[in-house]
Amino acid sequence: MLDLAAVRATDFTKPRPGLIDPAACPACALVKTLGAEVADAGDPELAVQWVELASLHAELGHPWDRRLDR
């Protein structure tokens, strides 16, 4: 079950320096959990919001990690 308080309390845009292992980033873990919840819900509007959140976190949360083409 998703913890909405954790979602509200997480700063997805806070920069984390350098190369970040997604398994060590709490915000990445929450993005992954949200993705599973959205997939289970089958709601296309939620899916769009999730993609936007994941992209925002990748760009702003990990600005110096350029392992992925964005």
Question: Which range, 6-10, 14-18, 44-48, is most confident?
Answer: 44-48
Tokens for 61? 């949360």
- Nearest-angstrom CA–CA distance, 1 and 40: 11
Tokens for 63? 């600005």
Average pLDDT over every residue of 19-33? 87
Handedness of CA 36, 60, 69, 43 (dihedral sign): positive
Cβ pair 18, 64 in contact under 8 A: yes
pLDDT at 2: 62
**For the whole model, what pTM was predicted?**
0.79
Share of the chain above pLDDT 70, in %: 90
Angle at 27 between CA 57 and CA 44, to 5 degrees: 65
